[in-house]
């Protein structure tokens, strides 16, 4: 059994390459923090509960203060408020943002695998396609005619890149992705099984049945977008479906045709957004939320898990429930229902006749 498994460290070497060891000062710089401890070498990362003297850990939640006080980690990334609770044998790396610091330190010890330029012999590249020499094209990939694959991009095994698709620089396309009618900017990541650019759910109803409406738009994924495994994004009907810069979609999300999502939004697993809805910047949509079509969701709105969104949501609003309502209204109603279920009189109601 590898040493990392015996001591409970993160990053099984069968799956994750490791760099290092790294000195404490270098780790502190990566975390964006400071430390007054003596210099020491650190070999990896691990949770507080299992970390050893060669590991770095972190704390960003006061619920785990007991684990912090008992940890044997060589160094811990902590907020200044928690620094006094760090054991004397452990180096405190103090930063106002421990979790982003932890992310950078984890990437220091486990950097993303480098792109291996070249086209696998089993890949099929269509006529007129342009593949940058620095790109990596995996086994059984199909690249359609006139498609473009940008510098340092990686296309995973079995992915299908449709005709005319543009994949920008430094993109990561996972195994079994299908990508058509799409333009990808820089540093876009598509996780395995994502389906991007297929026909939208558009049809006319006639006396003889359903008549499919040609879907003539595209999908545009702006820079630093990440799309989770088995998520689907339909191309637009007459205009484009757009996912704004820095936005992240979880696994199993459905985005309908003509939807426009702004910058730095988050859409959690199994949520669905119907066609022609506009989601402004910095919106957060919880898991299994459902949005009907042709809505506008205002900037920085927060839609709770399983919310049923049937009307526009104002900027900054927080809504839950189905049909969705403001958070305070929803929980007041729940409280009233619980009192009624217990046979209690709702607050504000009085038995008997009012007297002066």
Is residue 79 among the annotated active site residues? no
**Residue 142 falls inside a structural domain:** no
Q: What pLDDT was estimated at residue 57?
A: 97
Please report, for the domain that includes residue 198, its CATH number: 2.160.10.10
- Look at the chain and report how many structural domains it folds into: 2
**Residue 156 falls inside a structural domain:** no
**Residue 208 falls inside a structural domain:** yes
Query: Do residues 55 and 188 both lie within one domain?
Result: no
Closest to 176 in 3D by CA, of 198, 146, 196: 196
**Residue 165 falls inside a structural domain:** no
Are the C-beta atoms of residues 308 and 271 closer than 8 Å to each other?
no
Query: Do residues 184 and 313 both lie within one domain?
Result: yes
**Residue 284 falls inside a structural domain:** yes
Query: Do residues 102 and 233 both lie within one domain?
Result: no
The residues facing 284 across adjacent strands are 266, 302
Q: Please give the Cα distance from 278 to 259 (Å, whole number).
A: 6
* Structure-token pair, residue 131: 């593949």
Give the end of a domain, one of 55, 88, 109. 109
**Residue 338 falls inside a structural domain:** no
The residues facing 351 across adjacent strands are none
Residue with tokens 């949501």: 313
Are the C-beta atoms of residues 324 and 306 closer than 8 Å to each other?
no
Distance of CA 212 to the CA centre of its chain: 33
Q: Please give the Cα distance from 69 to 89 (Å, whole number).
A: 11
- Whether the bond between 37 and the residue before it is cis, its omega within 30 degrees of 0, is no
Q: What pLDDT was estimated at residue 356?
A: 43
Query: Do residues 85 and 184 both lie within one domain?
Result: no
**Residue 16 falls inside a structural domain:** yes
In the predicted model, residues of the chain with pLDDT beneath 50 are 1-6, 355-356
Domain that holds residue 206: 180-328
Give the end of a domain, one of 109, 142, 165. 109
Q: What pLDDT was estimated at residue 331?
A: 87
Query: Do residues 79 and 197 both lie within one domain?
Result: no
Active-site hit among 43, 257, 294, 350: 257
Q: What pLDDT was estimated at residue 345?
A: 73
Give the end of a domain, one of 85, 109, 133. 109
pLDDT single digits (tens) 120-157 = 999 999 999 999 999 999 999 999 999 999 999 999 99
Are the C-beta atoms of residues 37 and 24 closer than 8 Å to each other?
yes
Query: Do residues 80 and 214 both lie within one domain?
Result: no
Closest to 288 in 3D by CA, of 309, 312, 269, 266: 269
pLDDT single digits (tens) 228-261 = 999 999 999 999 999 999 999 999 999 999 999 9
**Residue 80 falls inside a structural domain:** yes
Q: Please give the Cα distance from 8 to 208 (Å, whole number).
A: 64
Q: What angle, 0 to 180 degrees and rounded to 10, lies between the N-to-C axes of helices 24-31 and 98-109? A: 130
The residues facing 274 across adjacent strands are none
Residue 82 is classified by DSSP as G
pTM over 0.85: yes
Query: Do residues 324 and 184 both lie within one domain?
Result: yes
């Amino acid at each position: 059994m590898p040493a990392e498994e015996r001591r409970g460290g993160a990053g099984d070497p069968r799956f994750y390459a490791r760099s290092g060891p790294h000195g404490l000062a270098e780790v502190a710089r990566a975390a964006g923090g400071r430390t007054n401890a003596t210099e020491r070498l650190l070999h990896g990362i691990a949770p507080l509960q299992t970390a050893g003297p060669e590991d770095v850990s972190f704390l960003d939640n006061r619920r785990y203060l007991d684990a912090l006080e008992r940890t044997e980690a060589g160094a811990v990334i902590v907020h200044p408020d928690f620094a006094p609770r760090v054991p004397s044998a452990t180096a405190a790396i103090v930063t106002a943002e421990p979790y982003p610091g932890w992310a950078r330190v984890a990437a220091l010890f486990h950097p993303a695998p480098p792109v291996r330029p070249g086209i696998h012999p089993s890949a099929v590249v269509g006529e007129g396609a342009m593949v940058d020499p620095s790109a990596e094209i995996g086994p059984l990939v199909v690249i359609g005619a006139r498609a473009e694959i940008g510098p340092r991009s990686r296309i995973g095994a079995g992915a299908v890149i449709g005709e005319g698709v543009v994949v920008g620089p430094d993109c990561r396309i996972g195994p079994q992705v299908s990508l058509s009618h799409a333009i990808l900017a820089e540093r876009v990541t598509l996780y395995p099984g994502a389906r991007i650019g297929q026909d939208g759910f558009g049809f006319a109803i006639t006396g003889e049945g359903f008549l499919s409406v040609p879907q003539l738009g595209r999908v545009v994924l702006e820079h630093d977008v990440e799309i989770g495994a088995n998520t689907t994004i339909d191309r637009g009907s007459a205009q484009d479906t757009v996912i704004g810069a820095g936005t992240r979609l979880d696994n199993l999300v459905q985005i309908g045709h003509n939807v426009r999502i702004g910058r730095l939004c988050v859409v959690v697993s199994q949520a669905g957004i119907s066609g022609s809805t506009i989601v402004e910047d910095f919106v957060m949509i919880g898991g299994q939320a459902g949005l009907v079509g042709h809505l506008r969701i205002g900037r920085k709105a927060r839609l709770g898990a399983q919310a049923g969104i049937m009307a526009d949501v104002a900027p900054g609003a927080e809504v839950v429930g189905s049909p969705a309502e403001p958070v305070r209204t929803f929980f007041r109603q729940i409280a009233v229902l619980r009192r009624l279920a217990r046979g209690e009189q709702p607050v504000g109601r009085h038995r008997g006749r009012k007297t002066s």
